[in-house]
C-alpha cells in the first residue's frame, strides 16, 4: 500500500512523531479496516479509521478532527498508517496470551465432589470464564488488572441480573440461557480521571449472559477501548478482540462476587419467573408473619444546590441564573448497627428475591428470615415504588437510558410529598452540602404556617422626588412537591399549607435565592395597598419606613354604590364610584382621565363594570343606567345571585318596586289519593300555586328552567322544587295526560296503587293524603303473613311455610281484583300453591268453573296433582276428539277444566260463551309471542281472575314479560310500542339501571318470585361443573372447515342479503353445534371419534360405579339415539323421552325411573324440560348447551326439587375452542337480566346483527 504521497511532508512528520510517542491506541481490526484512537500533542483524542485496499488503490481515510472535516488529510491519519507499517514489519512483539479459565478461576466449572448430594454440588449459573473464552486476554493486561484491583483503582459498584426482554431490547434472548443477563458496573479511579456521573471516577460497564459478553463500555480516555462518541449504554461487541485492562479488572471483581453469591442467576426463563412470582405473591403476605421484624431502614437527607435558568432570563439588573436547592435521601440499613446503603438497586433485589445482603466485611441481613419493622416497611414501600418508576421509565425508553438511582434518591414532586407523609414528626439526619465545610445536623419534619416579613421604603428618582416604594424581605428557599411546598430552617424540615403556599407564590417567584427586592411605582400604589395586601394579609406582615411620607402619595380607596330599581317589567342598576367624597358615574368608561381625576383606579372600576354587565347586559348612556332588557332569566339571576355579589363589592340601595320582586323557596305540592269503584282518584293541590297555573309550572320544569314565574310576577325556584320532579315522573310513569291533569282529579286503574304508594314513600318532599281504602289495600300486601286466609285443613300438613305465603298472595291479589305471575323457581311447588287457593275458594263458595291451560305434556300431571291434593274438586281433562271436547265443555258441572295450549287454540270458538272464575296458565312462557295464536286464544277467554305460572317469565326477550302482563292486566304495561320505547330499549340497548328499577318497582307487587336457596333450607346442595373436551384432529378439521366457510359467507353478505339469508345462516350454526356433539350427525361416512361422546360415556361409567342415577339432556333427538346405541353396546340400561313419547307413557317411565335401578334417562330438552318429577336422579348432564339458560335450569329442576334427598351434581359438557363456549357467555347475559327485573333482556339468536354473529363464531 503506497500512501505517503497522499500527505504533505509536514503532516507526515507530525504523524510519525505521534506514532513514535505511543499516541496510537488500536480499537479494532475488521476485514482490513483499522480503527484507533490517536492522541495529538495537545492531548486531544481523535478517532481514526483506515480501510486498506492493498496496492490496487489508495486507502480510504477518516478522522473526526476539524482538519479532516474540511477535507484535509491530517496527521492523525498518518499516525495510524505509520503504526500499521510497523505492525507489518514486526515492530511489535508477539504478546503472551492467558486462558479465560486462568484469568477468572472463581466461577470456572468445578468437578463434582463424590458422595455429596447433587443439590449441594457447586453451581454457578454465570461463569465469567465461559463468557470471555472467545476474547483475547494478554498477560500484560491481566497483570495490570490485578495491580489496579490491589491498589483499589478499579472498584465494583453493582452486580445485578435482569431479563433481556425487560431492559436489553436490542438483544434476542438465547433459548438456552432463558434471556437472563448479568450487569456489572464499576469505576476506575486511577490516573487523572475526570469525575463522570458524580461517581468519583470513570464508568466501567459490562453486560453478559451464560455464553458471551453482550456489551461493554470503558470510559477511561487513554484506553484503546474508549470511544468518545458512544453513550454509556450497551452496544454489541465483537469476539476475537482484546479486552482492555480496566474491563479485565472489573470482570475479575465480578468473578469473585458471583462465586460468593451462588444465588445470583438461574435457568428459569422469564415466563417461568412470572409464573412463580404470581404464586409467591399470595404466600408473601402469609409468610411475612413468620419473619422477624428486626430490620431498620433509616433515611438521611442530603441538601445541595443546582443551577437553573429563571423563567425570566434577563432582569434590569443582570442575567438571571438561580441556584435552587435540591433534596435527596439516602438510607442506612441494619438490625443493631446501621450501614449506608451503597446501591439501592442491590437492596431492592435482595428484598424482592429474599436474598442475603452483605453489610460491611462480616455482617449482613438474610431477608429470607428477617424483614423490616413497621415504620421501616413504609419507607421501603416508598423506595420500592420509586425504583419501579425508574425501571418503568427506562423500559419506555427501550432500555437506552440510565437509571438515575444508585446510592440516593432525588426528592421532588409526588415523590417528595409521599416521603414527607411517611416521616412527618420524625427526627432526620441532614447533610448540608450548601455549607462550607459540609454541615451535619438533625431536623424534625413538621407542618408550619409561614409568614413573610416585608419592609416598605420610599423610593426616590435621581432628582430626589418620590417615585414609589421598595419592598424588601427574605424567604427560605423552597423545594417544590407536587401538592405542597417545603423548606429547611433552624433544625426543622417544614411543610407549609397549600393556601399558604398559593398566597406567597408570587413573592416566591419574584425572589432571587430567597431575597426579595420589588419596586412598586407611584401610580400602582393603590393596586398594591388596596388589592394585593388584603388578599395576603394573613401571611404577609408589612412594616413601613417613613409611613407618613408614603401615605401622602397613596390615592384614596374607591367605594362603590349600586342603585337597583324595577320599571315596567325591567330591572335597572346605576353604579357610582366615590373617591374621598367625590362621586363619578360608571358607564361606558369612554371618558378619559384628566388632570383632576387621574388617580381613579380604572382597573378596579372596569372589573366592577364587568360584574354588573354579567347581570345587566345593556346600558343606557342618557340615563347612565344598566338594564336587563326585560329578560326573565336575567332578572331571576339578579334576585338569586346578583344582589349578593354586588353587596360584596359595595353598598346596594333598592326601590320599593324592586323589593316587590321576590323568589319563593320552600313551596310544595300535595297529592291526594282515594279509592272509588276499583279506580284510584288522584288530586294535586298547592297552597302556594293556583290550580290553573300548575300545568304552566310543569311546562317550565320540562323545559329545564331553574325557575317559574307566576302570573302575579313572583318567581318560584325550581332548583329546590323536588316535588315538581316527583309529580312530573308520576305523570310519565302513570301515563297521565295534560288534559287529565288540568281537570284537577285523575282516575287510574287500582292496580297502580302499590307502585304509586312506593313512589310516594320514596319521596317525602311531596305531601300525601291517602284515604282509608287506599291504606287498607297497601297494608294487605305488606302483611301477607297475617292475611285472613286460612289454609284448607286437608292441606295444612302438606304446605310448607313459603307455600302458605304464596297461597295467601294469590288470594290477596284475587280479593282486590288483581292478577299476577307466580314465578317461583322450578321445583318449589307452584302447582300445589294454586291448587290450595282453588280449594279455599271452593270452600268459601266463590269457585265456579275454572280453567287450567298448560303444555300437552302436563295435562295429566295436573289431573294427577288435583286428584291427589284436592279430591273435593271435580276436575276433567278437555281432550279426545273435537266432538268429545265439545261435550266436556257443555256439561258445565266440573270445578276445574284442564286443557292444552294447542287444543285451546283450536277450540277457542267453543269457549266464547263460557265464563270462568279462575283462568290459570301453567308454563306461561308459551304465550311469550303476543302475535301467536296461543297468546290470542288465552286473552279471549272470559275469566274473573287470571294467574300465570312460570319459573322463567323472561327467557330471551323483555317483551315476553309484556306479553304475559298483557294477558293478566291489559294496559298495565301500556301498549307494546310504548313499552318498547320507555322500557325495553333503555334497559336492553342502553343498560339504563334507573329505568330497570322503575320497571321492577311497577311489576314486583304482581310477581311472586322465590329461589330454592332462600326458602328451602333443607334442599340438598346443587353442585355445578363445566367439563371441557378437546377435539381430535379429524373432528377439529371438520369443525374448522365448516367455521371458515360460514365466516366467509357472512363477511361477503351485504346488509339486505344478510337479512334475507339469516335462516340459512342459523341453520349453518346448528350444523356447527352438531359437529361439536358428533360429526356423524352430519357426515355418515365420518370414521373418527366424537370427543364429547367419549367423555360422556366415561362420565356415565364412573357415575354408575359410585351408585349414581342420571338424566342426560340434549337438544338433538338424533344425538340421543346415538348415545342410546352406545349405551346398548356397553350393556347399560336406560329410558328415553322425546317429543314422540306419548303422554301416558311419559308418566309410567318417570314412575319407573324413580323406583327401579335403571341408571340413565335420556331426555330431549324441549320435550322433557318441564312437568317431570325425577327426584330419583342425583346427577344431571347437559350434553350440549342451549342459548337460553332458563331452559337448561328447568331441565335441571326435574331432579333438584322438593322430594330430593341427595346432593345433585350438574355437568355441562363443552367442546373447547368452539361456538359452545360463546353460548355459555350468552347464557349468563340473559340470566343477569332476568334476575334484575324479577327479583332481564338477552339477545335471541335470530335478532343478532352480522357483526354480533361473527363475534359469536370467534
Cell of 44: 486531544
Determine, yes or no, domain membership for 281: no
Claim to verify: residue 630 and residue 652 sit in the same structural domain: yes
Lookup: cell for 52: 486498506
Joined grid coordinates for residue 48: 481514526
**Which pLDDT belongs to residue 194?**
44
Q: What is the mean pLDDT of residues 353-359?
A: 81
Work out the number of other CB atoms within 10 angstroms of the CB of residue 292: 11
Lowest model confidence (mean pLDDT) among 49-53, 152-156, 172-176, 1023-1027? 172-176
Cα distances from 613 to residues 583, 608, 707, 890, in angstroms, run 20, 9, 21, 87
The pLDDT of residue 301 is: 93
- Asked if residues 600 and 593 have their Cβ atoms less than 8 Å apart, the reply is yes
**Nearest Cα to Cα of residue 630 among 566, 587, 549:** 566
Q: What pLDDT score does 769 carry? A: 65
Query: Is 406 in the same domain as 530?
Result: no
CB within 8 Å of 750: residues ≥ 6 apart? 675, 678, 679, 680, 777, 816, 817, 818
Quick check: is 283 in a domain? no
3-class DSSP state of 532: helix
Q: Which segments of 798-861 are extended strands (E)?
A: 820-822, 850-854
Model confidence over 558-568: pLDDT tens digits?
A: 899 999 998 88
Domain hosting 970: range is 784-1015
Asked if the model's pLDDT at residue 597 lies above 70, the reply is no
The domain that contains 35 carries what CATH number?
3.10.110
Range 1106-1111 average pLDDT: 92
Q: For 372, phi and psi rounded to 5 degrees? A: -80, 155
Residue 1246 scores a pLDDT above 60? no
DSSP string computed for 333-381: EESSSEEE-S-HHHHHHHHHTT-EEEETTTEEEETTTEEE-HHHHHHHH
Q: Please give the average per-residue pLDDT across 1200-1214, as a whole number.
A: 88
Please report the pLDDT score of residue 168 as a whole number.
Answer: 46
Residue 831 has pLDDT above 90, yes or no: yes
Q: Say whether both 857 and 1004 belong to one domain.
A: yes
For residue 310, pLDDT over 50 is answered with no
Which burial class, exposed, middle or buried, applies to 1018 when counting CB atoms under 10 A from its CB (0-12, 13-18, 19+)?
A: exposed
Q: Give the side-chain half-sphere CA count within 13 A for 667.
A: 22
Band (pLDDT 50/70/90 cuts) for residue 426 is: very high
In a domain, 103, yes or no: no
Compute the average pLDDT of residues 601-611: 86
Q: Is a pLDDT exceeding 80 seen at residue 586? A: yes
* Same domain as 1135, residue 1002: no
pLDDT of residue 877: 93
Residue 136 DSSP code: B
What is the distance between the alpha carbons of residues 1106 and 1159, in angstroms, rounded to a whole number?
A: 11
Nearest-angstrom CA–CA distance, 60 and 50: 6
Whether pLDDT at 229 is above 50: yes
The cell numbers describing 1018, all together, are: 333443607
Handedness of CA 1198, 1201, 1207, 1210 (dihedral sign): positive
For the chain, the C-alpha Rg in angstroms (whole number) is 46
| 775 and 789 both lie in a single domain | no
216, part of any domain = yes
What gap in Å lies between CA 1045 and CA 134, rounded to an integer? 56
Residue 494 lies in a domain: yes
Answer with the residue of higher pLDDT: 636 or 945.
Answer: 945
What sign results for the dihedral spanned by CA atoms 1231, 1232, 1237, 1243?
negative
pTM beyond 0.75: the answer is: no
Average pLDDT, stretch 145-157? Answer: 92
- Count CB neighbours of 850 within 10 A: 24
| 913 and 1056 belong to one structural domain | no
Q: Could you give the CA distance from residue 729 to residue 765 in angstroms, rounded to a whole number?
A: 14
What is the band of 992 on the pLDDT scale with cuts at 50, 70, 90? confident
- The residue with greater pLDDT, 166 or 980, is 980
In a domain? residue 280: no
Instruction: Please check whether residues 309 and 184 belong to one and the same domain.
Output: no
Query: Tell me, what's the pLDDT at 88?
Result: 74
Written as nine digits, the cell of 650 is 359595595
pLDDT of residue 196: 41
At 716, list the grid cell: 318560584
What pLDDT score was predicted for residue 767? 54
What DSSP line would sit under 671-706, residue for residue? Answer: EEEEEETTEEEEEEE-SSS-GGGHHHHHHHHHTT-S
Q: What is the per-residue pLDDT for 238? A: 59
Q: Which of 402-411, 636-645, 655-664 has the lowest mean pLDDT?
A: 402-411
Same domain, 649 and 670: no
Residue 434: pLDDT over 50: yes
Model confidence pLDDT, tens digit, residues 171-196: 444 545 557 888 898 889 887 544 34
Q: What is the pLDDT of residues 495-515, one digit of tens each?
A: 998 888 888 888 888 888 788
pLDDT band at residue 170 using 50, 70 and 90 as cut-offs: very low
Same domain, 1089 and 1207: yes
Between the alpha carbon of residue 1046 and those of residues 1041, 1052, 1135, 1186, 1257, the distances in Å are 9, 10, 37, 20, 9
- Which is more confident, 121 or 1078? 1078
1237 vs 954: CA distance, rounded Å: 9
The SS3 call for residue 995 is: helix
Final residue belonging to a domain, choices 628, 659, 690: 659
Q: Are residues 894 and 964 in the same domain?
A: yes
> Does a structural domain hold residue 18?
yes
Residue written as cell 320435550? 1167
As a whole number of angstroms, the distance between CA 108 and CA 121 comes to: 14
- Does 282 have pLDDT greater than 90? no
Assess whether pLDDT exceeds 80 at residue 488. Answer: yes
Cβ-contact 213, 205 below 8 angstroms:
no
Most confident of 743-752, 810-819, 890-899, 953-962: 890-899
Residue 282 lies in a domain: no
Please tell me the total count of domains within the chain.
Answer: 8
How far from each other are the two terminal CA atoms of the chain, in whole angstroms? 69
Q: Are 24 and 80 in contact (CB under 8 A)?
A: yes
**Residues sharing a CB contact under 8 Å with residue 917, sequence separation 6 or more, in sequence order:** 841, 846, 847, 848, 849, 850, 943, 944, 945
Strand ranges (DSSP E) for 978-1021?
Answer: 1007-1008
pLDDT of residue 212: 86
Tally the residues of the chain. Answer: 1258
CA dihedral sign of residues 184, 189, 190, 191: positive
Residue 307 has pLDDT above 70, yes or no: no
* Residue 400 sits in the same domain as residue 251: no
| Mean pLDDT rounded to a whole number for the chain | 82
Q: Which of 221, 242, 271 is the last residue of a domain?
A: 271
Quote the CA–CA distance of 111 and 138 in Å, as a whole number. 27
User: For the residues 1140-1154, what does the mean pLDDT come to?
Assistant: 87
pLDDT value for 358: 82
Query: Can you give the pLDDT at residue 741?
Result: 62
Q: Are residues 1056 and 1033 in the same domain?
A: yes
CA distance 1246 to 190: 82
Alpha-carbon distance of 1238 to 1000, in angstroms, equals 7
**Cα angle at 1178 between 1176 and 1183, to 5 degrees?**
110
- 196 or 242: which carries more pLDDT confidence? 242
Which of 731, 757, 780 is the C-terminal boundary of a domain? 780
What is the distance between the alpha carbons of residues 1027 and 1039, in angstroms, rounded to a whole number?
19
If you ran DSSP here, which 8-state letter would residue 866 be given?
Answer: H
* DSSP conformation letters of 77-124: HHHHHHHHHHHHTT-SPPPPB--HHHHS-TTSPPPPPTTS-GGGS---
Amino acid at each position: 500500500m503506497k500512501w505517503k504521497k497522499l500527505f504533505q511532508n509536514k503532516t507526515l512528520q507530525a504523524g510519525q512523531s505521534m506514532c513514535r510517542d505511543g499516541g496510537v491506541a488500536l480499537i479494532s481490526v475488521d476485514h482490513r479496516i483499522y480503527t484507533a484512537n490517536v492522541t495529538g500533542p495537545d492531548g486531544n483524542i481523535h478517532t481514526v479509521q483506515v480501510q486498506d485496499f492493498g496496492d490496487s488503490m489508495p486507502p480510504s481515510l477518516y478522522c473526526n478532527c476539524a482538519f479532516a472535516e474540511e477535507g484535509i488529510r491530517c496527521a492523525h491519519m498518518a499516525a495510524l498508517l505509520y503504526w500499521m507499517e510497523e505492525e507489518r514489519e514486526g515492530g511489535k512483539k508477539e504478546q503472551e496470551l492467558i486462558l479465560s479459565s486462568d484469568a477468572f478461576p472463581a466461577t470456572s466449572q468445578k468437578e463434582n465432589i463424590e458422595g455429596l448430594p447433587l443439590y449441594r454440588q457447586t453451581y454457578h449459573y454465570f461463569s465469567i470464564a465461559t463468557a470471555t473464552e472467545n476474547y483475547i486476554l494478554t498477560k500484560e493486561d491481566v497483570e495490570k488488572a490485578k495491580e489496579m484491583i490491589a491498589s483499589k483503582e478499579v472498584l465494583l459498584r453493582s452486580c445485578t441480573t435482569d431479563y433481556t426482554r425487560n431492559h436489553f431490547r436490542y438483544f434476542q434472548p438465547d433459548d438456552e440461557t432463558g434471556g437472563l443477563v448479568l450487569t456489572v458496573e464499576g469505576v476506575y479511579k486511577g490516573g487523572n480521571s475526570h469525575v463522570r456521573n458524580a461517581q468519583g471516577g470513570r464508568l466501567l460497564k459490562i453486560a453478559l449472559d451464560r455464553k458471551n459478553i453482550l456489551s461493554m463500555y470503558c470510559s477511561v480516555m487513554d484506553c484503546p477501548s474508549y470511544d468518545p462518541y458512544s453513550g454509556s449504554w450497551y452496544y454489541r461487541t465483537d469476539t476475537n478482540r482484546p479486552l482492555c485492562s480496566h474491563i479485565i479488572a472489573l470482570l475479575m471483581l465480578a468473578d469473585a462476587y458471583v462465586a460468593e453469591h451462588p444465588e445470583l442467576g438461574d435457568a428459569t426463563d422469564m415466563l417461568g419467573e412470572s409464573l412463580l412470582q404470581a404464586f409467591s405473591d399470595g404466600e408473601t403476605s402469609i409468610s411475612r408473619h413468620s419473619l422477624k421484624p428486626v430490620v431498620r431502614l433509616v433515611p438521611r437527607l442530603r441538601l445541595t444546590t443546582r443551577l437553573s435558568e429563571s423563567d425570566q432570563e434577563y432582569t434590569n439588573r443582570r442575567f438571571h441564573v438561580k441556584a435552587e436547592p435540591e433534596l435527596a435521601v439516602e438510607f442506612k440499613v441494619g438490625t443493631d448497627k446501621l450501614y449506608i446503603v451503597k446501591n439501592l438497586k442491590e437492596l431492592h433485589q435482595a428484598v424482592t428475591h429474599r436474598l442475603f445482603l452483605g453489610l460491611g466485611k462480616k455482617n449482613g441481613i438474610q431477608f429470607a428470615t428477617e424483614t423490616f419493622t413497621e415504620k421501616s416497611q413504609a419507607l421501603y414501600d416508598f423506595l420500592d415504588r420509586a425504583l419501579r418508576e425508574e425501571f418503568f421509565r427506562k423500559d419506555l425508553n427501550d432500555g437506552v437510558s440510565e437509571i438515575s438511582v444508585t446510592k440516593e434518591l432525588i426528592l421532588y414532586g409526588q415523590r417528595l410529598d409521599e416521603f414527607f407523609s411517611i416521616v412527618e414528626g420524625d427526627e432526620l439526619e441532614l447533610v448540608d452540602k450548601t455549607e462550607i465545610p459540609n454541615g451535619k445536623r438533625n431536623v424534625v419534619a413538621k407542618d408550619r404556617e409561614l409568614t413573610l416579613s416585608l419592609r416598605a421604603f420610599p423610593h426616590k428618582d435621581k432628582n430626589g422626588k418620590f417615585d414609589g416604594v421598595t419592598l424588601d424581605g427574605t424567604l427560605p428557599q423552597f423545594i417544590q412537591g407536587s401538592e405542597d411546598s417545603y423548606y429547611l430552617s433552624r433544625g426543622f424540615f417544614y411543610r407549609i399549607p397549600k393556601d399558604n403556599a398559593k398566597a406567597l407564590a408570587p413573592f416566591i417567584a419574584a425572589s432571587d435565592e430567597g431575597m426579595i427586592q420589588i419596586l412598586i411605582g407611584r401610580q400602582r400604589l393603590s393596586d398594591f395597598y388596596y388589592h394585593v395586601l388584603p388578599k395576603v394579609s394573613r401571611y404577609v406582615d408589612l412594616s413601613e419606613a417613613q409611613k407618613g411620607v408614603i401615605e401622602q402619595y397613596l390615592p384614596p380607596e374607591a367605594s362603590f354604590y349600586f342603585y337597583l330599581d324595577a320599571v315596567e317589567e325591567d330591572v335597572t342598576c346605576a353604579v357610582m364610584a366615590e373617591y374621598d367624597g367625590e362621586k363619578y358615574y360608571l358607564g361606558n368608561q369612554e371618558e378619559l382621565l384628566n388632570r383632576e381625576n387621574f388617580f381613579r383606579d380604572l382597573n378596579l372600576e372596569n372589573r366592577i363594570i364587568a360584574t354588573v354587565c354579567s347581570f345587566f347586559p345593556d346600558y343606557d348612556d342618557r340615563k347612565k343606567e344598566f338594564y336587563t332588557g326585560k329578560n326573565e332569566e336575567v332578572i331571576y339571576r339578579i334576585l338569586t345571585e346578583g344582589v349578593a355579589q354586588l353587596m360584596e363589592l359595595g353598598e346596594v340601595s333598592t326601590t320599593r318596586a324592586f323589593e316587590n320582586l321576590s323568589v319563593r323557596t320552600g313551596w310544595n305540592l300535595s297529592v291526594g289519593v282515594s279509592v272509588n269503584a276499583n279506580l284510584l282518584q288522584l288530586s294535586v293541590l298547592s297552597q302556594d300555586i293556583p290550580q290553573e297555573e300548575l300545568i304552566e309550572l310543569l311546562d317550565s320544569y320540562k323545559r329545564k328552567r331553574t325557575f317559574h314565574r307566576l302570573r302575579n310576577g313572583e318567581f318560584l325556584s325550581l332548583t329546590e322544587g323536588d316535588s315538581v320532579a316527583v309529580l312530573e315522573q308520576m305523570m310519565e310513569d302513570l301515563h297521565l295526560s295534560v288534559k287529565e291533569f288540568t281537570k284537577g282529579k285523575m282516575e287510574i286503574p287500582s292496580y297502580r296503587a302499590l307502585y304509586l304508594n312506593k313512589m310516594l314513600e320514596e319521596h317525602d318532599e311531596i305531601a300525601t293524603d291517602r284515604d282509608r281504602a287506599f291504606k287498607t289495600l297497601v297494608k294487605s300486601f305488606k302483611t301477607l303473613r297475617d292475611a285472613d286466609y286460612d289454609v284448607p285443613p286437608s292441606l295444612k300438613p302438606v304446605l310448607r311455610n313459603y307455600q302458605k305465603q304464596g297461597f295467601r298472595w294469590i288470594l290477596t291479589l284475587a280479593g282486590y281484583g288483581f292478577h299476577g305471575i307466580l314465578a317461583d323457581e322450578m321445583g318449589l311447588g307452584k302447582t300445589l300453591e294454586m291448587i290450595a287457593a282453588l280449594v279455599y275458594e271452593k270452600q268459601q263458595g266463590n269457585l265456579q268453573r275454572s280453567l287450567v291451560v298448560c303444555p300437552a305434556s302436563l295435562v295429566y300431571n295436573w289431573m294427577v296433582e288435583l286428584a291427589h291434593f284436592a279430591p273435593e274438586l271435580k276436575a276433567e281433562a278437555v281432550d279426545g276428539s273435537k266432538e268429545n271436547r265439545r261435550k266436556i265443555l257443555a256439561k258445565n258441572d266440573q270445578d276445574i277444566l284442564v286443557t292444552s295450549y294447542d287444543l285451546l287454540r283450536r277450540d277457542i270458538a267453543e269457549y266464547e260463551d263460557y265464563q270462568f272464575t279462575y283462568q290459570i296458565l301453567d308454563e306461561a312462557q308459551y304465550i311469550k309471542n303476543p302475535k301467536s295464536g296461543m297468546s290470542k286464544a288465552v286473552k279471549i277467554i272470559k275469566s274473573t281472575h287470571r294467574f300465570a305460572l312460570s319459573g322463567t317469565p323472561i327467557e330471551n326477550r323483555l317483551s315476553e314479560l309484556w306479553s304475559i302482563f298483557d294477558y293478566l292486566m291489559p294496559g298495565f304495561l301500556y301498549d307494546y310500542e310504548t313499552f318498547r320505547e320507555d322500557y325495553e330499549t333503555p334497559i336492553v340497548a342502553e343498560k339504563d339501571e334507573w329505568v330497570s328499577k322503575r320497571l321492577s318497582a311497577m311489576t314486583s307487587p304482581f310477581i311472586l318470585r322465590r329461589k330454592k336457596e332462600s326458602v328451602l333450607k333443607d334442599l340438598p346442595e346443587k353442585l355445578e361443573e363445566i367439563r371441557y373436551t378437546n377435539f381430535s384432529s379429524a373432528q377439529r378439521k371438520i369443525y374448522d372447515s365448516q367455521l371458515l366457510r360460514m365466516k366467509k359467507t357472512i363477511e361477503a353478505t351485504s346488509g339486505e342479503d344478510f337479512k334475507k339469508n339469516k335462516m340459512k345462516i342459523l341453520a349453518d350454526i346448528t350444523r356447527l353445534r352438531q359437529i361439536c356433539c358428533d360429526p356423524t350427525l352430519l357426515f355418515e361416512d365420518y370414521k373418527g371419534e366424537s370427543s364429547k361422546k367419549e367423555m360422556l360415556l366415561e362420565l356415565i361409567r364412573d357415575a354408575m360405579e359410585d351408585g349414581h342415577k342420571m338424566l342426560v339432556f340434549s337438544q338433538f333427538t338424533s344425538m340421543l339415539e346415538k348415545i342410546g346405541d352406545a349405551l346398548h353396546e356397553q350393556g347399560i340400561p336406560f329410558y328415553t323421552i322425546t317429543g314422540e313419547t306419548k303422554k301416558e307413557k311419559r308418566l309410567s317411565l318417570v314412575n319407573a325411573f324413580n323406583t327401579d335401578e335403571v341408571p340413565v334417562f335420556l331426555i330431549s330438552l324441549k320435550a322433557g324440560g318441564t312437568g317431570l318429577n325425577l327426584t330419583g336422579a342425583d346427577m344431571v348432564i347437559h350434553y350440549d348447551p342451549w342459548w337460553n339458560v332458563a331452559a337448561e335450569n328447568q331441565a335441571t329442576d326435574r331432579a333438584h326439587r322438593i322430594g330430593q334427598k341427595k346432593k345433585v351434581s350438574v355437568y355441562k359438557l363443552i367442546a373447547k375452542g368452539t361456538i359452545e363456549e360463546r353460548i355459555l357467555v350468552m347464557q349468563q347475559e340473559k340470566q343477569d337480566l332476568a334476575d334484575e327485573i324479577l327479583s332481564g333482556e338477552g339477545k335471541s339468536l335470530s335478532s343478532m346483527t352480522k357483526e354480533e354473529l361473527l363475534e359469536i363464531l370467534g
